[in-house]
């Protein structure tokens, strides 16, 4: 093949390849879009309820939580992400009682295995599906889950039903 033929052959191959690519681009203009613009779509974004991202300790309107500071979650955590410290106080009737002092969790270490939540006997912690937790330093990923001034919720005494008297 002469050099002129080679030149035109290469030119036509190039044009054909360009048109094939342009054809694909043109088709994509009309196909249904699956990608979304984030964060513009924040209001309509659906995050699965089962998505685990942030461990929380729910507090009620009285700033009370259910943690007894038993430490079971800390023992079951496979990589030392949780640190529970407790303190002993004296109750009004003079008895000694262990209460939660600090509950620390490190989002940067957590593998989101959920073992802590599953093994907590008091249902005191749970995972939220909040996902916007990016920070600039790792230190900010360390969180104290019990709120300032919070205390443990007293368990309500169970009222036993009265047996009807035999006549
Ligand atoms: S989810 Fe797993 S790794 Fe994270 S704190 Fe709980 S037990 Fe530890
Ligand atoms: S969160 Fe649950 S398992 Fe962990 S210390 Fe508190 S009561 Fe115990």
Show the tokens assigned to 85. 């410290």
Task: Give 62 Cα–ligand 1 centroid separation in angstroms.
Answer: 27
> Nearest-5° angle of CA 126, CA 105, CA 122?
40
Instruction: Tell me which ligand sits closest to the C-alpha of residue 125.
Output: 2
Question: What's this model's pTM, rounded to 2 decimal places?
Answer: 0.76
Q: How far apart are CA 44 and CA 97, in angstroms?
A: 47
Show the tokens assigned to 29. 């203009």
State whether residue 114 is helix, strand or coil: coil
Task: Give 85 Cα–ligand 2 centroid separation in angstroms.
Answer: 11
Domains identified in the chain and CATH numbers: 54-152 (3.30.70.3270)
Residues 56-72: tens digit of each pLDDT: 999 999 999 999 999 99
Residues 133-167: tens digit of each pLDDT: 899 999 999 999 999 999 999 876 555 666 666 55
By residue count, the chain amounts to 167
Testing ligand 1's pocket by substitution, the residue of 57, 82, 141, 143 carrying the most ligand atoms inside 8 A of its CB is 82
Looking at residue 36, what is its pLDDT?
85
State the greatest distance between any 2 C-alpha atoms of the chain, in Å, as a whole number: 121
Residue 165 burial (CB count, 10 A): 5
Task: Give 93 Cα–ligand 2 centroid separation in angstroms.
Answer: 25
- Enumerate residues lining ligand 1, CB below 6 A: 55, 76-79, 81-82, 105, 110-116
Instruction: Tell me which ligand sits closest to the C-alpha of residue 112.
Output: 1
- Phi then psi dihedrals of residue 106, to 5 deg: -115, 105
Query: CB-hemisphere CA count at 13 Å for 127?
Result: 18
């Amino acid at each position: 093949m002469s050099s002129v033929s080679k030149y035109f052959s290469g030119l036509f191959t190039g044009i054909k390849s360009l048109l094939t690519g342009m054809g694909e681009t043109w088709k994509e203009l009309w196909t249904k879009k699956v990608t979304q613009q984030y964060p513009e779509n924040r209001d309509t974004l659906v995050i699965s309820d089962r998505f685990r991202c942030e461990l929380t300790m729910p507090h009620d309107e009285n700033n009370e939580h259910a943690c007894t500071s038993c430490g079971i979650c800390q023992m079951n955590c496979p990589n030392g992400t949780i640190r529970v410290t407790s303190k002993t106080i004296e109750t009004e009737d003079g008895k000694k009682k262990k209460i939660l002092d600090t509950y620390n969790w490190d989002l940067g270490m957590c593998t989101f295995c959920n073992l802590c939540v599953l093994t907590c006997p008091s249902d005191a912690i749970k995972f939220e599906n909040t996902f916007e937790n990016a920070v600039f330093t790792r230190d900010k990923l360390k969180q104290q889950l019990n709120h300032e001034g919070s205390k443990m919720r007293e368990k309500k005494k169970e009222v036993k039903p009265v047996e009807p008297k035999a006549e």
